[in-house]
């Protein structure tokens, strides 16, 4: 634990902020539960305890806890790791970077200090109590908080700081308070599928219903079968292998998970996590060819990570059939929406999903480099256009969520 001198706020009513750094989530005590909602599995203590226990390669975790005169005021999880700055760039730029690395192997590779989670939750991890109402936090107090984040990054020899990935209301607050320190850009949007009360199959228009029937028929002809299991036990190596195939074929790669992550998640989240597994007979043997790691909270089902056998994927409509199974399971469990995440936007649009904009905050301690990143933002982070599809006969209205297993997200740190 590293203590920092109190920071004075611009308004006496908001009081000074005392900041302390920690290296382990278990050191935070009840602070996490005080700063994050207990019904949001993506921000749950259990999920991020699992992330820490997995010991992801080249990921160094840090947690900043702030207290003011009212008690715990914030928990800001951060991590340091190395990334290629062209990870989210266009195809031609990534190809150009690949050629450049034949001469300079570390071209555009840089260590980052990131405010957020090292896994793809497609949401922020800013545990700032009362941020939206502007009473407890004013501009100077937020500036002091993120100045400490920048100071920590510099102490680690890292000049580039990223805040990821937050929606428009948070972006507006941060942009107003931190404009002198960070610039803000759009990240890849995330996607949600609202499940209509009358049932997904009955609510989509005939064109997409016919596509669904044909794809499911192709899957049946190729002997695709599906199982829902509470744990990855017995399938850890196969699941990780299928996940790595997705990573190897992905247009955008930000993190790479290890085998331990998958077993840690279902071990920590209990009934709030499960797996959807797809099997096919290959050369006379029943083989795992698809998997979805799914986590749940009160109203939303999150297929967090996918894995596919790309040899099988080509001729079985495997990708669509996996998502159809996700939708069926969400309806069976009474969820009102499915969070489908980033990338593969054509597929998700065909399912009827809509998109939500996400933003990133970017700081570099070298003003010239910061200016260069700002001017290159259109190349490094090109705007993504989400395709519009009229999948439903009428726009879906959210269904009421039915009973489901109590999420392990509700577990508080003891």
Q: Are residues 242 and 296 in the same domain?
A: yes
Q: Could you give the C-alpha distances from 314 to 198, 216, 281, 289, 400, in angstroms and in order?
A: 32, 14, 15, 12, 37
> Under a CB-based contact definition with an 8 Å cutoff, are residues 84 and 96 in contact?
no
Q: Are residues 373 and 342 in the same domain?
A: no
pTM for this model (two decimals): 0.86
Q: What is the span of the domain harbouring residue 231?
A: 191-352+389-410
Q: Are residues 331 and 226 in the same domain?
A: yes
CA atoms within 13 A on the CB side of 8: 3
- End-to-end alpha-carbon separation of the chain, Å? 18
For residue 108, what pLDDT is reported? 58
pLDDT tens for each residue of 119-141: 999 999 999 999 998 889 999 99
Q: Are residues 242 and 147 in the same domain?
A: no
d(CA 66, CA 72): 6
Selection from 170, 178, 291 nearest residue 224 by Cα: 291
For residue 333, what pLDDT is reported? 95
* Residues of the chain scoring pLDDT < 50: 8-13, 88-89, 403-414
Q: Residue 239: which CATH number?
A: 3.40.630.30
Q: Are residues 244 and 270 in the same domain?
A: yes
For residue 9, what pLDDT is reported? 43
For residue 24, what pLDDT is reported? 97
Q: Are residues 179 and 223 in the same domain?
A: no
pLDDT tens for each residue of 270-285: 999 999 999 998 777 8
Q: Are residues 365 and 291 in the same domain?
A: no
Q: How many domains does one find in the chain?
A: 2
d(CA 255, CA 164): 13
> Under a CB-based contact definition with an 8 Å cutoff, are residues 32 and 127 in contact?
yes
For residue 414, what pLDDT is reported? 39
Q: Are residues 165 and 236 in the same domain?
A: no
Q: Are residues 18 and 162 in the same domain?
A: yes
Q: Are residues 233 and 162 in the same domain?
A: no
The backbone region for 155, taken as left when phi is positive above 0, alpha when psi lies in -120 to 50, beta otherwise, is alpha
């Amino acid at each position: 634990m590293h203590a920092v001198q109190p920071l004075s706020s611009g308004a006496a009513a908001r009081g000074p902020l005392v900041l302390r750094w920690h290296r382990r989530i278990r050191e935070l005590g009840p602070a996490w539960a005080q700063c994050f909602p207990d019904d949001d599995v993506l921000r749950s203590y259990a999920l991020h305890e699992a992330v820490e226990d997995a010991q992801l390669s080249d990921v160094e975790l840090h947690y900043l806890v702030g207290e003011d005169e009212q008690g715990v005021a914030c928990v800001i999880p951060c991590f340091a790791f190395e990334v290629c700055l062209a990870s989210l760039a266009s195809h031609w730029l990534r190809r150009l970077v690949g050629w450049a690395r034949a001469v300079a192997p570390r071209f555009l590779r840089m260590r980052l200090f990131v405010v957020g989670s090292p896994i793809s939750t497609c949401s922020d991890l800013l545990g700032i109590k009362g941020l939206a109402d502007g009473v407890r936090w004013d501009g100077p107090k937020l500036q002091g908080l993120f100045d400490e984040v920048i100071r920590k990054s510099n102490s680690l020899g890292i000049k580039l700081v990223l805040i990821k990935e937050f929606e428009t209301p948070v972006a507006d607050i941060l942009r107003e308070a931190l404009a002198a320190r960070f610039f803000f850009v759009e990240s890849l949007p995330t996607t949600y599928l609202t499940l209509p009360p009358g049932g997904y199959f009955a609510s989509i228009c005939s064109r997409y219903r016919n596509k669904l029937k044909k794809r499911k028929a192709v899957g049946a002809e190729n002997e695709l079968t599906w199982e829902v299991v509470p744990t990855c036990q017995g399938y850890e190596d196969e699941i990780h292998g299928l996940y790595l195939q997705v990573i190897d074929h992905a247009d955008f790669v930000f993190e790479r998970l290890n085998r331990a992550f998958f077993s840690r998640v279902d071990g920590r989240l209990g009934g709030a996590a499960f797996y959807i597994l797809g099997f096919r007979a290959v050369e006379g043997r029943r083989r795992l060819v698809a998997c979805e790691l799914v986590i749940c909270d009160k109203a939303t089902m999150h297929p967090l990570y996918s894995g596919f056998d790309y040899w099988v994927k080509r001729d079985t409509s495997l990708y669509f059939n996996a998502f159809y199974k996700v939708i069926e399971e969400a309806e069976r469990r009474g969820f009102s929406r499915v969070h489908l995440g980033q990338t593969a936007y054509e597929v998700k649009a065909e399912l009827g999903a809509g998109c939500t904009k996400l933003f990133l905050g970017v700081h570099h301690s070298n003003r010239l480099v910061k200016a260069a990143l700002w001017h290159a933002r259109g190349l490094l982070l090109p705007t993504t256009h989400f395709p519009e599809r009229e999948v439903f006969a009428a726009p879906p209205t959210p269904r009421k969520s039915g009973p489901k297993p109590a999420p392990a997200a509700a577990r508080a740190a003891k």
